[in-house]
Amino acid sequence: LAKTTQPISMDSYEGQEVNITCSHNNIATNDYITWYQQFPSQGPRFIIQGYKTKVTNEVASLFIPADRKSSTLSLPRVSLSDTAVYYCLVGVRNRDDKIIFGKGTRLHILP
Amino acid sequence: GAVVSQHPSWVICKSGTSVKIECRSLDFQATTMFWYRQFPKQSLMLMATSNEGSKATYEQGVEKDKFLINHASLTLSTLTVTSAHPEDSSFYICSASDLTQGNTIYFGEGSWLTVV
């Protein structure tokens, strides 16, 4: 399982774009990168998943460079409700591999 | 989309008693489910892998006789905390993968356990 490293915490302001970078230097060829969001007292919620280059959905964008040793979650125009912990996970699709969570990034959005 | 549901969402029990938490995949079948516990302001810690029709696989340091896991059907896994103590108070979360939808993992809402 590829280990991931993220900043422990980040602060930003409403309306700003927030970029959270995750390092995964030993990512394997078959590994996908998935980001989850967790609010207090709730289970994590899927945000976005990608393998390479760029993926965009209605919530966020995920940028993955060619070497795939890192990835950046981009949240456009954040609001107070985006205050949460964000986890970057690396694993294989179509297989029930156990997922080990890193510490995540605690994002705090200020008014 | 796929949904994983936990019940109860919160429970209070007395020391020495046992409490059961259920995890259900509502619209897909899950041969494997995972149980995590999470203390305040900490990350999720994997406790065990629940395998349908066979014994659960526990992570190092997790007592299998204390945290009993049963995965009797493709849509239900249960975690029973036996002889609960105050230090077992925590947020317990389950997850399951819908392998028909890639490997997106879905998490339950979590269950707060308070042992008094």
pLDDT in tens, A19-73: 999 999 999 898 889 999 999 999 999 999 999 999 999 999 999 999 999 999 9
Q: Is the pLDDT of residue A86 over 70?
A: yes
| CA dihedral for A23, A59, A54, A36, sign (positive or negative) | positive
Give B46 to chain A, closest Cα distance, Å.
Answer: 7
Nearest CA in chain B to A86: B43
Residues of A with CB under 8 A from a CB of B: 32, 34, 36, 41-46, 49, 87, 91-104
Interface size A-B, in CB pairs within 8 Å, comes to 60
Please tell me the predicted confidence (pLDDT) of residue A63. 98
Residues in chain A: 111
Percentage of residues of chain B with pLDDT beyond 70: 96
The two tokens of residue A89 are: 């996970």
Cβ contacts of A95 on chain B, cutoff 8 Å: 99, 103
Give CA separation, A95 vs A59, B65, B78, in Å. Answer: 26, 28, 22
d(C-alpha A19, C-alpha A60), whole Å:
10
Structure tokens at B14: 């007395």
Pick A103's closest partner by Cβ from B36, B43, B103. Answer: B43
Contact check, Cβ <8 Å, B110/A101 = no
Q: How far apart are CA B33 and CA B24, in angstroms?
A: 9
Terminal CA-CA length for chain A = 38
Q: Cα separation of A31 and B61, whole Å? A: 27
Alpha-carbon distance B30 to B73, whole Å? 9
pLDDT digits (tens, 9 = 90+) for B22-78: 999 998 888 889 999 999 999 999 999 998 888 999 999 999 999 999 998 999 999
Token pair recorded at residue A49: 């998943």
Q: Find all residues with CB under 8 Å of B56, minimum gap 6, and list them.
A: B48, B49, B50, B64, B69, B71
Instruction: Provide the 3-class DSSP secondary structure of residue B9.
Output: coil
Q: What residue type is A93 in one-letter code?
A: R
Q: How far is the C-alpha of B49 from the C-alpha of B30, rounded, in Å?
A: 12
B32 touching A (Cβ < 8 Å): yes
